[in-house]
Amino acid sequence: MAGTGAEAEAVREEVMTRQIEELMWRAFTDVSFREGLLNGHRRELVSSLDLSEVERAAVMAVRADSLEAFAGALCQCSVTPGLM
């Protein structure tokens, strides 16, 4: 029996959260990855990750010059309807 729409949405949100958390963890622990996210190499870095189109769009939409600002903007994207 197929799950309800709400169950499917909850699974999708959990996956998005896990993938974004992995991206952020890597940014916190890998200096060259972090620098790439912030200095114009984001598209190349993001293309190597297992992100959904929605996640990819959210990450690419962020405008930030520090990791703190990047994380804050990404959190805002994840609560914006249509980006989660």
CA gap 84, 69 in Å, rounded:
19
Is residue 67 domain-resident? yes
Is the residue at 6 inside a domain? Answer: no
Residue 70 tokens, joined? 């990047």
Domain that holds residue 83: 31-84
* Claim: this prediction has a pTM higher than 0.75: no
What tens digit of pLDDT does each residue of 16-59 get? Answer: 578 888 999 999 999 999 999 999 899 999 998 988 888 899 89
Q: Is residue 50 part of a domain?
A: yes
If you count DSSP H runs as helices and E runs as strands, how many of each does the chain have, helices first? 5, 0
In a domain, 79, yes or no: yes
| Total number of domains constituting the chain | 1
Q: Which residue has the tokens 């309800």?
A: 4
